[in-house]
Structure 1
């Protein structure tokens, strides 16, 4: 009898969420992400790079040094109109940067990375990359399962379905009431909540069918 497959964790998908070496090169047409049509090449699916900030500088423009899923450290250079100044207050070591439609770019100093020109293509998520990936795994594992209190473990049944309430921020954790919610917050949800909330934007999109560009 075949084993049940584990649900797909969306951010573990290495096609739509590739490490740096899986990104298309800016000088080539990558047929994983582009299709040829009657009017030339057009995107066929969406992709997003995720990396954890290990260092940054912000003199003439904001430069981020980020570690991808495979541990490779690359440069993310902000060539937006404001050179990244609006994003700068959110930049912290240990946070995760997400870049939509990133392409491998070779800089003049011979380093490789991402050149971001559109401010709506980049976002800082206030948690580590591992926390974000773990939150994605958690959402996938509990998809379709009965809800239960994140503190005492009470399950959501037909008798008490109106008693459990969702966390207003992450929309994932459920609680019997205020006491359980406060206890869970102190016990760890304060950290998990940011990561779960970060995953929600990605989980709400169809990444394999392209209709129009996404933006943050």
Structure 2
């Protein structure tokens, strides 16, 4: 599939935090030293990615690449909950995460929950969302190793999905989008009919 033996390898996790942001709160602009994963659990945030901005909604994930200028601002009406992980990684598969933002599937969300649980074991909770988290003095056995494993698993799942998407022909993607639209319309119609029957 890829040219090297290990297409993706997580080499370290510098910091990680799960926190709620106040509307309008933002981080100062700075340059990524490694990779930065940003996942929005609820609400919305606006991410600066070098020269352009991306609006991230609940259930979406975004990756800032090394040497990229970034900043984050909480927007919308609901204070967003955001999970962030700063990490280093190498391997050819990491190229698929450049300028990448996407919605997570169920398997990926399950993996992310496991990652978040181990992050809470390794890092102290932050009082201010803009603060950098510090490591706990005492970490449960295997905590650091497990968070690296769960992050790598999440990255492999996402890289595999992105590769499948790239292999699809434009016609196949169009047919898939059309089928999803038809199914969404059918679901809306069923809900409408059920609500009308309930009130008649």
TM-score by length of 2: 0.28
Asked which structure has the greater RCO (Cα within 8 Å, sep 6+), the reply is 2
Q: Where is the strand percentage greater, Structure 1 or Structure 2? A: 2
Q: Where is the helix percentage greater, Structure 1 or Structure 2? A: 2
TM-score by length of 1: 0.26
